[in-house]
Amino acid sequence: MTKPLATLLLSLLLSAHSLAGVPVQPVRYAMVSGLSDPHRPYMLALLQLACDEARLRCQLLAASAMNQSRALVQLAKPDGGIDLFWGMTSNEREHKALPIRIPLDKGLIGWRVALVPADQPDLLAGIRNRQQLARLVAGQVDDWPDTTILRSAGLKVLTSQDYGNLFPMLQRKRFDYFPRSVMEVQREAALPVAQGLVIDRHLLLRYPTAMYFFVSPHQPQLAARLEQGLRMAVQDGRFNQLFLRYNAQELAGLALAKRTLIELDNPLLPPGTPLQDARLWYRP
């Protein structure tokens, strides 16, 4: 047995032994985009990392599928069936739930490239500014903060209540392009539901925002422990290691530096967003 492997096994054994008497902490998370949620594997890995760092024996439990507006309503109830969900921050969400202000995505949720119909791969090739982009129509879910951000920038948006419906809507050309986070788009393009769609090679939209864990206001101790765990992971480097493991290959494959960049303002960005802490944000 190699020394690094032996060290890792010893660490795991010691960790398991040290948590042997700790009560199990159920953590019920909302399935806000169903089983096809491209963020789910990374978010669950981060959630488990936060639990490990905070010395919590977490049992991660998937709750019912629901959109983000419904998840916010359920969080507000004393027993709404969920303890947290992950999503883009906004003033409304930070007011109604307990935000853990550690950008899980290092801000990449605001870096957007589009899915477009496969028979129009160069639809966005000539776009250089917002005014030109405003001639086209984007697709989004109606309760996503992105919808408000795009519309406030003067862009046209057609919405659906259901995330999964947007793929066939784009295939039928009900709208022109589907802006997706650089963390999401390659996984989504590989889904069966995305047949007939391709990733645009020309444009990058960017606006300041963050994806957080939002915890029930009835679970302040859980929120505090998870925040403690995430901050410890940032400090010891395990957060960044996990981020790169899940996202480095996707970022490299999108050739972001070669794209036309259009910057958008975010009128929904809460004042508590930790923009000054460089450790928490992606820098190419």
How far is it, in rounded angstroms, from Cα 175 to Cα 254?
23
Residue 122: which CATH number? 3.40.190.10
Q: Is residue 195 part of a domain?
A: yes
What is the domain extent for residue 93?
25-105+209-254
Q: Is residue 181 part of a domain?
A: yes
Number of domains observed in the structure of the chain: 2
Q: Are residues 154 and 187 in the same domain?
A: yes
Quote the pLDDT of residue 14. Answer: 53
How far is it, in rounded angstroms, from Cα 268 to Cα 146?
9
The domain boundary residue, chosen from 148, 176, 206: 206
Q: Is residue 66 part of a domain?
A: yes
Q: Are residues 114 and 201 in the same domain?
A: yes
Quote the pLDDT of residue 8. Answer: 43
Q: Is residue 67 part of a domain?
A: yes
Q: What is the 3-state secondary structure (H, E, C) of 230-263?
A: HHHHHHHCHHHHHHHHHHHHHHHHCCHHHCEEEE
At 225, the amino acid letter reads R
Q: Are residues 95 and 166 in the same domain?
A: no
Q: In angstroms, how far is CA 7 from the centroid of its own chain?
A: 33
Q: Is the pTM of this model over 0.75?
A: yes
Q: Are residues 241 and 184 in the same domain?
A: no
Mean pLDDT per 10-residue segment, the chain (284 residues): 48 54 90 78 96 96 90 93 94 96 96 98 97 98 93 97 94 98 92 96 96 97 98 97 92 93 95 95 87
Q: Is residue 15 part of a domain?
A: no
Token output for 226:
């998870």
Quote the pLDDT of residue 254. Answer: 95
For residue 177, give the DSSP letter: B
**Contact (Cβ atoms closer than 8 angstroms) between residue 140 and residue 147:** yes
